[in-house]
Amino acid sequence: MTGRVFHTSDWHLGRQIGRYRRDTEVDAVLDEIIDIAADFAPDLIVHSGDLFDSSRPSLDDLRRAAQALRRLGEIAPVVVVAGNHDTTYVLAFLKFMLSDMGTREGDEVRVRFATDARPDGLLVAEYPTKGEELTLRIGALPYLHPNRFTYDFADPGMTTAAYTERIRIVQVWRSW
């Protein structure tokens, strides 16, 4: 028994070279990613961060992300994990767009987002494989910036060790 997971990341939609927007190139790459995913026929698709290149993507980039993620969602369920360039608010808006502005819920929504690193907000989900002989489990941990924890540190010399310990706690919070 095997489960098939297709991984993609770091699209950095909105990235420019000087004043030159790379929309044509980006569209071609997204089409290629979607074609490869369709050929691979995965049970789950995971985008592991940095959908966008900035915390304030343009409307064109939001549309481009929504269309690409919807197309991937037609192939298999999709989990998008927030990267260091992604913001909770932008991904929440994208989630709203992909749920047809809140009119679709639950199993109808094929794209889910992991944006919350608090133990009670982690995206932990199960996805049955196509033959349903196996269940894939995912525990998605979004990017955690060290500044999110520094307000609790009493000793600046212990910041790295304390941060590492907190990340470990978040990672082992759910036992399988």
Considering the entire predicted model, what is its pTM?
Answer: 0.81
Q: Where in the chain do CATH 3.60.21.10 domains reside?
A: 5-142
Among all residues, which ones are annotated catalytic?
A: 85
- What tokens appear for 80 in the block? 């998008």
Burial 107-143 (b: 16+ CB within 10 A, else e): eebbbbbbbebeeeebbeeebebeeeeeebebebbbb
**Helices 88-98, 59-75: inter-axial angle, 10-degree rounding:** 60
Which of 118, 95, 113, 132 shows the shortest CA–CA distance to 174?
118
Please give the share of the chain, as a percent, with pLDDT higher than 70.
81
Q: What is the pLDDT of residue 176?
A: 45
Tell me what the mean pLDDT of segment 66-77 comes to. 96
Please identify, in words, the CATH class of the domain defined by 5-142: alpha beta
pLDDT in tens, 113-146: 998 877 667 788 888 888 888 889 888 878 876 6
**Rounded Cα gap, residues 90 and 50, in angstroms:** 12
Q: What is the pLDDT of residue 61?
A: 95
Tell me what the mean pLDDT of segment 148-158 comes to. 60
Say if residue 85's pLDDT is above 50: yes
